[in-house]
Amino acid sequence: DLLIYGPTKPLINNGFSDQFVLHKYETQHDLERLPAGVAEKIRGIAVTGLVPTNSAVLAKYPKVEIISSFGVGYDHIDAKYAAENDILVTNTPDVLTEEVADTALGLFIATAREFIKADKYVRSGLWLTQPYPLTVGSLRDRKVGMVGMGRIGQAIARRLDASLVPVVYHSRNPAAGVSHKHYPNLIEMAKAVDTLIVITPGGPSTANLVNAEVMQALGPRGIIINIARGSVIDEPALIAALKSGTILAAGLDVFAQEPKVPDELKSMQNVVLLPHVGSASVVTRNAMDQLVVDNLKLWFAGKAPTTPIAETPIKGR
Ligand code: GLV
Ligand code: GLV
């Protein structure tokens, strides 16, 4: 049997319903309360980032062989437990890289150039009575420090290069083939730049990585763009820093408690807020769906799925 979160159509279209019993679940909690006798039969699970797939949940599925996850981030899955229990985990990298990089650049421009404020100016009719006050800076007055330089980070850096914006980056180790300056220390980088674009995986190793000290180091012209995970930024510290003028502005696609966004952020003029839509175009979401299906299909055909995560490499196929 297979357990699917959300739409089953791509799986049915790919012939899975002939081969397997498909159990569909609609809310994240259904994974924890499948009818007795069913969980024991499940061999494959499809999940999204909304479904906390921790060890307590996974322990209920003794026969599960593969978790095919939608999205590139997999901080919702206990990868260590999966590795220890011979469960393969796959994600959907690559197909979303350019889309997420577009979102990052768009959010950066919308924040730095204050597009939301300007949009309100037109709608309110104020433009009819006075020209828009010319107060915004230029992208090229800025220096960007990327927090993370993986595939998506590199696609963002390419866009910034094309826009003539200086770029440096922080990551634990220098990224192969990247010529931009690497900072092993995030505080040192924050002191040297005025804009952070955060695109590093979530999970315990990056929790609250961008904290009050980093914001202090970034300084009063500071802009923070987050398209990674809400957990990477200390959200209360961010709110305090925006309020006090410790930093200037923020553009956020992700939040600590999605879909809840703190009212304080919603009431601020100097933030741009998106509902976690980094990869959300129809063409890219379809490609992600297809990769979720292809990974399951390959596995149950005895072949090697295309995109296993690093913690669960494929053995013997
Ligand atoms: C979405 O946030 C993803 O990880 O792809
Ligand atoms: C992060 O996972 C990236 O690909 O940049």
pLDDT at position 174: 98
Instruction: Tell me if 153 CB under 6 Å of ligand 2.
Output: yes
Note if 229 is an active site residue.
yes
Note if 29 is an active site residue.
no
Q: How confident is the model at residue 52 (pLDDT cuts 50, 70, 90)?
A: confident
**Higher confidence at residue 8 or residue 256?**
256
Tokens of 124: 């309110």
- What DSSP assignment string belongs to 5-19? ES--HHHHHTTHHHH
Q: Which fold has domain 97-273?
A: Rossmann fold (3.40.50)
- Mean predicted lDDT score pLDDT of the chain: 93
Note if 170 is an active site residue.
no
User: Residue 162: left (phi > 0), alpha (psi -120 to 50), or beta?
Assistant: alpha
Q: What whole-number distance in Å separates Cα of residue 28 and Cα of residue 5?
A: 8
Q: How confident is the model at residue 60 (pLDDT cuts 50, 70, 90)?
A: confident
pLDDT at position 277: 97
Closest CA to 4 of 293, 314, 294: 293
pLDDT at position 55: 92
* Chain position carrying tokens 């307590």: 56
* Chain position carrying tokens 């990674």: 228
Q: How far is the CA of 35 from the centre of ligand 2 (A)?
A: 37
Q: Which CATH number fits domain 2-94+282-300: 3.30.360.10, 3.10.20.30, 3.40.50.720, 2.30.30.100?
A: 3.40.50.720
Q: Which ipTM value was assigned to this complex?
A: 0.63
DSSP state of 306: S
Q: What stretches of the chain show up as alpha helix (H) in DSSP?
A: 9-13, 16-19, 55-58, 79-84, 97-112, 115-124, 151-162, 186-192, 212-218, 235-244, 263-266, 282-300
For 204-248, what is each residue's pLDDT tens digit? Answer: 999 999 999 999 999 999 999 999 999 999 999 999 999 999 999
104: β partners: none
pLDDT at position 7: 55
- Which of 72, 89, 152 gets mutated to test ligand 1 (max ligand atoms within 8 A of its CB)? 72
Tokens of 258: 């999605």
Average pLDDT over residues 284-293: 92
From the list 32, 258, 264, 311, the catalytic residue is 258
Average pLDDT over residues 133-138: 89
For 84-128, what is each residue's pLDDT tens digit? Answer: 999 999 999 999 999 999 999 999 999 999 999 999 999 999 999
User: Residue 26: left (phi > 0), alpha (psi -120 to 50), or beta?
Assistant: alpha
**Higher confidence at residue 64 or residue 29?**
64
Q: What whole-number distance in Å separates Cα of residue 226 and Cα of residue 153?
A: 12
Distances (CA, A) of 84 to 52, 113, 238, 276, 296: 18, 48, 37, 31, 20
**Higher confidence at residue 6 or residue 315?**
315
What is the CB < 6 Å shell around ligand 1? 49, 71-73, 96, 278-279
- Which residue puts its alpha carbon closest to atom 4 of ligand 1? 73
What is the model's pTM? 0.93
Q: How confident is the model at residue 21 (pLDDT cuts 50, 70, 90)?
A: confident
Q: How many CA atoms lie within 13 A of 131 on its CB side?
A: 3
Asked if residue 73 lies in contact with residue 97, where contact means CB atoms within 8 angstroms, the answer is no
Quick one: angle between helices 97-112 and 151-162, nearest 10? 50
pLDDT at position 2: 79
Average pLDDT over residues 239-260: 97
Counting from 1 in the atom list of ligand 2, the atom nearest the Cα of 155 is 5
Average pLDDT over residues 24-48: 78
pLDDT at position 311: 97
Tokens of 317: 């196929």
Residues of the chain with CATH 3.40.50.720: 2-94+282-300, 97-273
**Higher confidence at residue 288 or residue 10?**
288
Helix (DSSP H) and strand (DSSP E) numbers for the chain: 12, 12
Ligand nearest to the CA of 155: 2
pLDDT at position 247: 98
Q: What whole-number distance in Å separates Cα of residue 51 and Cα of residue 78?
A: 11
- Which residue puts its alpha carbon closest to atom 1 of ligand 2? 150
